[in-house]
Structure 1
Amino acid sequence: MFFGVLGVSAADLAREAGQWREPAAFVDLGQEENDVSELVLPPCPVIGIGPRDHRLAHRMDTIVEAGFEAAAIADAIARQPLAAAAVTQLLRLVPSLSLEEGLAAESMAYAMLQGSAAHRAWIAVQPLREAKPEGRVDLSRVNDDLVVTLDRPEAGNAIDRAMRDRLHEAFGLANVDETIARIVLRAKGKAFSLGAELSEFGTTTDPATAHRIRCLTLPAREAVRCAGRLEVEVDGACVGAGLELAAYARRITATRRSWFQLPELAMGILPGAGGCVSLTRRIGRQRALLMILSGRRIKASRALDWGLIDALMDEIS
């Protein structure tokens, strides 16, 4: 059978979906000649290998594109099957939800995985990290523009609690001040953002409390309300929470040296800073899931081709 025990034909999957117990299912689209009208997906990633224009391709959770390896994706899923299943099921729902509903669903799924044994095991093996100064987010007003600058270059602009709260306040300010015509988000240093501050993972141990905190302070909850005025300038690494927030913008520009990544699956969780919603809206659920399941870095050129960014700019001095 194609791809070992994980390989299955669409017709067999339609019959066996309710009994499918493997962590993923791979469908060789090159071998599929007919559509399957009653294709019911099991509660795990269903991954197509073959052309994106195949009649069955849109029914898959994701398609393995050039530069990605099916075997590597299968290995990543096998290491974190619960997180892979949860994010797949979430992304099936997100396109039918409003932005606010999507954020609520994402947060609840994230909270569930926060309490999982897999995520706790990841936290347990993390090395002790040297404490770094509290993060800063600078705000300035230039005519009708509100410029929001991540200012923690010594930590790669990893977003800690202080920065998260400040970003929430900044976008909240933009939402109540109608004289702000444009919000520009940029960063100091060689990285736009390395994602969330890893040393803070696991500090809130109760998943329900963590969900409540995200409902009140997640920057994306304010960013979605002013996304039509938001522009982002990316230079260098744009990872995890940094990418998740940036993807809400109406326009993203990036330097050619920039790269993009969603590494959360390896931690036993899913993107929980709004990325399951923002990336799905920006590049579609299949490519969003491909980034999540693979954990691969995406170069600026591919990001432009996918529509993850809107333009390339000269290097920032």
Structure 2
Amino acid sequence: MLNAIIMDYTEIPEDASWLRQQPYPVIAYGKQAITANADVIVPDLAAAQKLEKNIQSAPVAAMTLVQVLRSTELLPPELGLDVESLAYSTLQSGEEFAAWLKTRGDEILLPEPEGPALLLSRTGGKVDAVMNRPQLRNSVTVEMRDAWVEALELLDADDSITEFTLRGLGPCFSTGGELAEFGTAPDPATAHWVRSVRSPARLMAKLSARITCHVHGACIGSGIELPAFASQVVAHHKTYFQLPELKLGLIPGAGGTVSIARRIGRQRTALLVLSGRRINARTALEWGLIDALED
């Protein structure tokens, strides 16, 4: 069964419409490869075949990913988020996600929260927001998501706030969506509705000019998808970044196909998801995923 198209970049057609006609991920390879008509570019055939092997583990999610990235590249952020959410909801009802849910095992009980999920303080026109769930590695639970939304709604309503800074307590900024809560929405349609009306990503995109994120440790999934909307992302030099959604039979669903793709491009975003690889802070800076390093 064909799951990906692998081609030497010199053999890829130049017709700009060719890529949009391919349902599968198109992987171009070559040491000096440069082409817009590919979803991913890697240096050699071995690297392309390794990527193909990852795709075989979740071919529907991989196909959906590249189709979404091709679309969101052409759309304003708010419409790109609609496309991402619809695609994410579709995958939530698919066999690949169902298979991952089985491997997760029985329901996971989360510890009782202590204090507010997001600590807010204000000095003049500056608001500091600090994620306060270090015991959960600041995973984006429903509680954390709602706290982000409420804080961002405050920023949206108050023009006197000139700077909104977001950080995380504990060993890392955020390990992304809380896996214990995955699959708990009543149905995919309701999940899409929630992402449409209670989405930190939409507010982050709208208010990005006033937002700075300071990240450290692990920034996984939504732990980088959301900060990537900010006008400034400053990372500790030992920070690492990863988009592991393909292993779950999913694609980035917290805005990453919009925020990250606008920072590093469609092809590098697809590479991060399809490979599942981690990149360090130095690489993230070179690519433009972050804007500065700090100790």
TM-score between the two structures when normalised by the length of structure 2: 0.93
Distance across 2 between alignment mates of 1:278 and 1:195: 15
Structure 1 residues 33 and 115, CA gap change in structure 2 (3 angstroms): closer
Structure 1 residues 225 and 25, CA gap change in structure 2 (3 angstroms): same
Q: Match of 2:258?
A: 277
Distance across 1 between alignment mates of 2:17 and 2:253: 32
- Post-superposition Cα deviations, 1:263-306, rounded to whole Å, max 9, x if no partner, equal 00110011001111101111111111111111110111110110
* Equivalent of residue 3 in structure 2, options 23, 40, 48: 23
Specify every segment of 5 or more residues in structure 2 that has no aligned partner in the other structure, as ranges. Answer: none
Deviation larger for 233-242 or 34-43:
34-43
Alignment of 1:290-309 (within 5 A): 290-309=271-290
Q: CA RMSD in A?
A: 1.9
Q: Secondary structure at the match of 1:270?
A: coil
- Establish whether residue 72 from structure 1 lines up as the match of residue 40 from structure 2: no
**One-letter amino acid matched to 2:247:** A
Contact 1:49–1:63 (CA<8 Å) still a contact in 2?
Answer: yes
Specify every segment of 5 or more residues in structure 1 that has no aligned partner in the other structure, as ranges. Answer: 1-20
Q: Match of 1:5?
A: none
TM-score between the two structures when normalised by the length of structure 1: 0.87
Query: 1:70 Cα shift?
Result: 2.5
- Establish whether residue 206 from structure 1 lines up as the match of residue 184 from structure 2: no
Q: Match of 1:145?
A: 126
Structure 1 residues 248 and 78, CA gap change in structure 2 (3 angstroms): same
Q: Match of 2:26?
A: 46
Q: Match of 1:124?
A: 102
Alignment of 1:177-188 (within 5 A): 177-188=158-169
Distance across 2 between alignment mates of 1:38 and 1:188: 47
Query: 1:27 Cα shift?
Result: 1.1
Distance across 2 between alignment mates of 1:28 and 1:107: 33
Q: Secondary structure at the match of 1:247?
A: helix
Distance across 2 between alignment mates of 1:296 and 1:310: 20
* Equivalent of residue 95 in structure 1, options 70, 73, 76: 73
Contact 1:115–1:205 (CA<8 Å) still a contact in 2?
Answer: no
Query: 1:53 Cα shift?
Result: 5.3
Contact 1:52–1:63 (CA<8 Å) still a contact in 2?
Answer: no
Contact 1:138–1:149 (CA<8 Å) still a contact in 2?
Answer: yes
Q: Match of 2:112?
A: 133
Query: 1:139 Cα shift?
Result: 1.2
Distance across 1 between alignment mates of 2:132 and 2:182: 21
Distance across 2 between alignment mates of 1:270 and 1:34: 27
Distance across 2 between alignment mates of 1:65 and 1:186: 36
